[in-house]
Amino acid sequence: MLGRVDQRAGTLDLEHVARFPNGPVRLASGLHWDFTGLYRDLTAGLADAFRRETSVASIGIDSWAVDYGLLRGDRLLGEPFHYRDERNAAAVDGVHAIAPFAELYRRNGLQFLPFNTVYQLAAERAAPDGSDGCLGLADSLLLVPDLIAFQLTGRRVAERTNASTTGLVGVHTGEWDDELIERLGFPASVFAPIVAPGDSLGALRPAVAAQLGAPAGVEVVAVGSHDTASAVVAVPMNPESAAYISCGTWGLVGVELEHPVTTDAARDANFTNEAGVDGRVRFLHNVMGLWLLSESVRWWERDGEAIDLTQLLAAAASVTAPVAVFDADDARFMAPGDLPGRIAEWCAEHGVPAPQTRAEFARSIIESLAEAFAATVRQASVLSGVDVETIHVVGGGALNELLCRRTAERSGLPVLAGPVEATAIGNVLVQARAQGFASGSLEDLRALVASAFAPRRYEPSAR
């Protein structure tokens, strides 16, 4: 994505340059990412961006969280594991035997998700093939965006917003929790120095610059490298009276705070305190998100049939009979596979009629997500004390009219939808500020977002 920002002129625009699939690959060792393919495609995209725009000043990188690559010297020790791999579940108890969850929560402020890096690292050492994984061989561990930054620049850093999702960063310090790392028996030396969004990571490696035809002087700048952190930057909200839903594969539902909330109630509600840009706190909960729909569609398409999502959603919108509202948070929906079958299984266990047609399944998913979104916004408000008056939906979910409308109706609050490309916008704005094309607080940056991408409003009044 190419971004052009001029705060004084009030302009902010994005140009799509390249888009490519990024699916998991099942290898003998488990579910992995094709990092090498991802890097190939993104560098091709960068080269294309440099052909279109010769005055690119900087590059910012963001991706999903928690997953990492291990390096020995410059060599990547295998493709990174995918957080949906099954290996993590078995490692959870071992970690909690050393550091009980209540203690972890006090230290790192994170909701329990079995794939948090801390559990993945414990699983790494107890690989199902009987080996002890690659942790013992590695001399550095880099989360996915940091791994990309390393390939581009040669610098090994850990960007703070994403590092905060590992479970190994102190919620109050923003630094690696060395004592916890030592107690868990992880090699402290693999963790790279923490940098903040806005810090320069320096120039491209000369070989990379030549390969990509990069303009002279282009540098890599740390942004909110956790995609959700960048997305929250671009929510055109007043954090004192708004909640946000960053809705794509996941639905990240919460509020932005100045200070973490690590109360027993927040822990019991499984709310996370992830690091935001400018020291803000992303107090939120992971709701399963549009994964429920995309993975169902993938299942239906497994024999080669192509399903038109727009048509499916239109059919879902015209379902008039009541549909099952299931618990979108149920852990059974986490792994890839037969999602419709698992939804039907949930319904059978809870004595509610399961959806029958694909349109009913889609409607049931949307209703269940809207209900989970509404309930989670209410919880976020109670736990944090933020008096929520509006809900902002950003990300791909902002295009889903049925979901936005039902979220407004189920929550009783107006939903403001957009921007769709919030993550890319937040990424670009933090770079723009670092380069002097914009200045001020997140509120100043959000004012620019609000004027460039007017949100679409959904009223809470029922049909």
Number of residues forming the site for ligand LFR (CB under 6 A): 12
Stretch that binds ligand LFR, among 61-69, 373-381, 404-412, 424-432 (CB under 6 A): 61-69
Q: Which of residues 267-306 bind ligand LFR (CB under 6 A)?
A: 286
Q: Which is nearer to ligand LFR, 192 or 252 (CB)?
A: 252
Q: Which is nearer to ligand LFR, 200 or 249 (CB)?
A: 249
How far apart are alpha carbons 95 and 46 in whole angstroms?
40
- 148 contacts ligand LFR (rule: CB under 6 A): no
- 227 contacts ligand LFR (rule: CB under 6 A): yes
Give the nearest distance from C-beta 245 to ligand LFR in angstroms: 12
Give the nearest distance from C-beta 50 to ligand LFR in angstroms: 27
Q: Which is nearer to ligand LFR, 7 or 166 (CB)?
A: 166
- 64 contacts ligand LFR (rule: CB under 6 A): yes
How far apart are alpha carbons 427 and 232 in whole angstroms?
10
Among 31, 42, 59, 65, binds ligand LFR (CB under 6 A): 65
Stretch that binds ligand LFR, among 28-36, 64-72, 73-81, 321-329 (CB under 6 A): 64-72
Give the nearest distance from C-beta 431 to ligand LFR in angstroms: 19
Tell me if 158 sits within 8 A of 146, measured CB to CB.
Answer: yes
- 111 contacts ligand LFR (rule: CB under 6 A): no
Give the nearest distance from C-beta 215 to ligand LFR in angstroms: 30
Give the nearest distance from C-beta 216 to ligand LFR in angstroms: 34
Q: Which is nearer to ligand LFR, 38 or 56 (CB)?
A: 38
Stretch that binds ligand LFR, among 58-66, 74-82, 185-193, 198-206 (CB under 6 A): 58-66
Q: Which is nearer to ligand LFR, 109 or 355 (CB)?
A: 109
Stretch that binds ligand LFR, among 63-71, 89-97, 383-391, 444-452 (CB under 6 A): 63-71
Stretch that binds ligand LFR, among 102-110, 223-231, 306-314, 406-414 (CB under 6 A): 223-231
Residues near 437 by Cβ (< 8 Å), separated by ≥ 6? 5, 6, 7, 57
Q: Which of residues 357-416 bind ligand LFR (CB under 6 A)?
A: none
Tell me if 252 sits within 8 A of 92, measured CB to CB.
Answer: no
Q: Which is nearer to ligand LFR, 252 or 425 (CB)?
A: 252
The tokens describing 225, both together, are 């490298």
Among 228, 296, 379, 381, binds ligand LFR (CB under 6 A): 228
Among 33, 244, 250, 333, binds ligand LFR (CB under 6 A): 250
Give the nearest distance from C-beta 250 to ligand LFR in angstroms: 4
HEC secondary structure over the chain: CEEEEECCCCEEEEECCCCCCCCEEEECCEEEECHHHHHHHHHHHHHHHHHHCCCCCEECCCECCCCEEEEECCEECCCCECCCCHHHHHHHHHHHHHCCHHHHHHHHCCCCCCCCHHHHHHHHCCCCCCCCCCCCCCCEEEEHHHHHHHHHHCCCCEEHHHHCCCCCECCCCCCECHHHHHHCCCCHHHECCEECCCCEEEECCHHHHHHHCCCCCCEEECCCCEHHHHHHHCCCCCCCCEEEEEECCCEEEEEEECCCCCCHHHHHCCCEEEECHHHCEEEEEEECCCHHHHHHHHHHHHHCCCCCHHHHHHHHHCCCCCCCCCCCCCHHHCCCCCHHHHHHHHHHHCCCCCCCCHHHHHHHHHHHHHHHHHHHHHHHHHHHCCCCCEEEEECHHHHCHHHHHHHHHHHCCCEEECCCCHHHHHHHHHHHHHHCCCCCCHHHHHHHHHHHCCCEEECCCCC
Q: Which is nearer to ligand LFR, 293 or 316 (CB)?
A: 293
Catalytic positions are 227
The tokens describing 56, both together, are 């690119």
Give the nearest distance from C-beta 173 to ligand LFR in angstroms: 21
- 427 contacts ligand LFR (rule: CB under 6 A): no
The tokens describing 41, both together, are 């495609």
**Other C-beta atoms within 10 Å of 424: how many?**
21
Q: Which is nearer to ligand LFR, 286 or 431 (CB)?
A: 286
- 85 contacts ligand LFR (rule: CB under 6 A): no
- 200 contacts ligand LFR (rule: CB under 6 A): no
Provide the binding-site residues for ligand LFR, judged by CB under 6 A: 64-66, 83, 226-228, 248-250, 252, 286
